[in-house]
């Protein structure tokens, strides 16, 4: 089908609404020549803001693939339902050129499989694998000159047969402490730091490590390099510095990262490092989110990379800080649906995610900083919280901004000791 200007209609099918609250439909250059179609799970649709629901020309609300899903997997659409929807979409007379997109880390491989099955352009399973399997991605970097942590794929049989012997072997291979993590998860789900044989022996008898890796523990400051690639060329680059590493976040510290100024000497160095890694892995059009360490010896160490933009809070801060419509740029790179530039002026800002720990919420504390901020609490005083190791189950989020970057940077580091939630102690609970 064509428009009056003989332009082929482009239909972009989005699997999961993750990231779409930051999409700017008002920036689309030719709205009449595009169709946005969403395939979404029932629980995710129920949580989608009403404004965002209006961004799409057509929506397929389908059953979730899991019963009673956690926040990590509630966006999973039942596979057969997703296939039925995609079959109907691609067969429609008005579809034009169809592309399939997914910005939900856990279901990007499923999207790649659907592209292969339906003959759609974009990353196929073989292209996506080095961005999903943490062992494959580091294997691919061997010989590239990109430094990465020592690692080994977890051996379930050795673990069950001789824990002590296996622990000794792991320590010889990757050192102590070491990190135990799923090879294909997200949001720090299931990540453990093993400091001793006692920690290793404390893993439950039911522990299934067949899809895990053991990895060298690297000391240093964490950064993320966020790129948008179009036609194999970088069209956006931004670097953020993390306040703490993700292992500290699950222990209760604030998960904050600040967007560095482009004239910071760390930025071009880290962008070049990321581009080298991506070129080795097989560079994809669209967004990538690469995490690295800068060690006390000034060595950059690759941690992992995802073929997507950052999570929602970080994405909001990044768009505002750089005055860049990242979601629109990503969709343009992947589908050809063009957008105009971001219309608002840039403003230095950073985001923070408030972690949750098990316990009774005694008090919610606002940060004591100089910069303006907006905070959104997702828990309330008096609420009993369950234990979690996932960054997807936040206690709240906030955004901090300032025209003076030096003041903002000081406020960023002032959050290092900030404890946003006061929990009632066990003794206080028992005496209440």
Q: Exposed, middle or buried: residue 134 (CB in 10 Å: 0-12, 13-18, 19+)?
A: buried
For position 416, what pLDDT does the model report?
87
252-296 pLDDT, tens digit per residue, is 678 899 999 999 999 999 999 999 999 999 999 999 999 999 999
- Band of residue 249 on the pLDDT scale cut at 50, 70, 90: low
Look at residue 237 and tell me if it is in a domain: no
In a domain, 139, yes or no: no
Q: Is the pLDDT confidence value at 426 over 90? A: no
Tell which wins on pLDDT, 417 or 215.
215
CATH number at residue 422: 3.90.1170
* Same structural domain, 27 and 89: yes
Which range is least confidently modeled, 59-73, 154-168, 238-252, 266-280?
Answer: 238-252
- Distance in angstroms (rounded) separating the CA atoms of residues 16 and 331: 14
Supply the pLDDT for residue 251.
65
Which pLDDT band holds residue 93 (cuts at 50, 70, 90)?
Answer: confident
How many domains are there within the chain?
3
Determine the structural domain holding residue 422 and report its residue range: 347-432
Residues 109 and 77: their CA atoms lie apart, in Å, by 13
What pLDDT is attached to residue 348? Answer: 97
Residue 70: pLDDT over 90: no
* Residue 152 pLDDT class (50, 70, 90 cuts): very high
> Among residues 193, 216, 239, which one ends one of the domains?
216
- Residue 305 included in any domain: no
Residues 356, 404: one domain? yes
Q: Is the pLDDT of residue 48 over 60?
A: yes
Domain boundary among 195, 216, 237: 216
39-48, 61-70, 115-124, 228-237: lowest mean pLDDT where? 61-70
Q: Do 99 and 20 reside in the same domain of the chain?
A: yes
pLDDT at 432 over 70: no
Same domain, residue pair 38 and 114: yes
Q: Which structure tokens are listed for 413?
A: 């580091």
Give the Å distances, CA to CA, from 87 to 114, 162, 297, 392.
Answer: 10, 50, 54, 31
Torsion angle, alpha carbons of 110, 114, 120, 124, to 10: 40
pLDDT band at 154 (very low <50, low <70, confident <90, very high): very high
* Domain membership flag for residue 157: yes
For residue 128, being part of any structural domain is answered with no
| pLDDT tens figures, 383-417 | 998 766 555 667 888 999 999 999 999 999 999 88
- 55 and 18 in a single domain? The answer is yes
H/E stretch holding 240:
strand 233-242
Q: Looking at residue 89, which CATH number applies to its domain?
A: 3.40.50
Residues 157 and 65 in one domain: no
Average pLDDT over residues 16-20: 95
pTM for this one? 0.91
> 141 versus 395: which is more confidently predicted?
141
**CA pair distance 105, 188, nearest whole angstrom:** 12
Question: What is the predicted pLDDT for the residue at 3?
Answer: 41
Q: Are residues 15 and 119 in the same domain?
A: yes
Note whether residue 41 is domain-resident.
Answer: yes
Q: What is the CATH number of the domain that holds 181?
A: 3.30.1490
**Cα(246)–Cα(138) distance, integer angstroms:** 19
Backbone angles phi, psi at 54, to 5 degrees: -80, 0
In this prediction, residues 162-179 reach a mean pLDDT of 97
Task: Categorize the per-residue pLDDT at 5 as very low, low, confident or very high, splitting at 50, 70 and 90.
Answer: very low
Higher pLDDT, 394 or 143: 143
User: pLDDT grade, residue 354 (50/70/90)?
Assistant: confident
For residue 95, pLDDT beyond 90: no
Note whether 77 and 163 are same-domain residues: no
């Amino acid at each position: 089908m064509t428009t009056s200007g003989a332009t082929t209609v482009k239909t972009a099918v989005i699997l999961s609404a993750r990231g779409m609250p930051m999409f700017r439909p008002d920036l689309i250059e030719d709205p009449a020549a595009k169709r946005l179609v969403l395939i979404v799970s029932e629980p995710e649709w129920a949580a989608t803001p009403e404004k965002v629901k209006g961004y799409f020309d057509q929506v397929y609300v389908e059953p979730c693939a899991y019963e009673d899903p956690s926040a990590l997997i509630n966006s999973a659409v039942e596979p057969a339902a997703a296939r039925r929807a995609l079959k109907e979409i691609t067969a429609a007379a008005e579809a034009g050129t169809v592309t399939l997109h997914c910005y939900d880390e856990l279901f990007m491989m499923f999207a790649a499989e659907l592209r292969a099955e339906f003959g759609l352009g974009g990353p196929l399973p073989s292209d996506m694998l080095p961005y999903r399997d943490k062992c494959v991605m580091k294997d691919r970097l061997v010989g590239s000159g990109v430094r990465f942590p020592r690692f080994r794929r977890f051996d379930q049989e050795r673990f069950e047969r001789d824990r002590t012997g296996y622990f000794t072997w792991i320590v010889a291979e990757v050192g102590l402490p070491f990190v135990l993590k799923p090879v294909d998860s997200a949001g720090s789900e299931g990540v453990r730091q093993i400091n001793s044989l006692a920690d290793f022996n404390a893993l439950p008898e039911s522990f299934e490590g067949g899809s895990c890796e053991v990895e060298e523990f690297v000391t240093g400051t964490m950064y993320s390099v966020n790129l948008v690639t179009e036609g194999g060329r970088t069209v956006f680059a931004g670097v953020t510095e993390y306040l703490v590493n993700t292992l500290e976040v699950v222990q209760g510290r604030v998960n904050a990262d600040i967007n560095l100024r482009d004239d910071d000497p760390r930025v071009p160095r880290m962008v070049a490092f990321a581009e080298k890694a991506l070129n080795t892995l097989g560079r994809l059009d669209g967004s990538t989110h690469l995490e690295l360490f800068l060690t006390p010896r000034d060595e950059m160490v690759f941690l992992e990379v995802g073929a997507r933009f950052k999570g929602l809070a970080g994405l909001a801060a990044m768009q505002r800080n750089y005055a860049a419509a990242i979601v629109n740029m990503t969709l343009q790179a992947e589908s050809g649906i063009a957008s105009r530039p971001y219309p608002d002026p840039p403003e230095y800002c950073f985001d923070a995610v408030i972690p949750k720990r098990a316990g009774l919420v005694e008090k919610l504390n606002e940060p004591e900083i100089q910069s303006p901020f907006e905070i959104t609490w997702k828990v309330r005083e008096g609420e009993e919280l369950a234990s979690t190791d996932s960054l997807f189950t936040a206690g709240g989020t906030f955004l901090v901004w300032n025209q003076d970057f030096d003041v903002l940077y000081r406020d960023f580091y002032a959050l290092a000791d900030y404890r946003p939630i006061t929990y009632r102690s066990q003794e206080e609970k028992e005496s209440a």
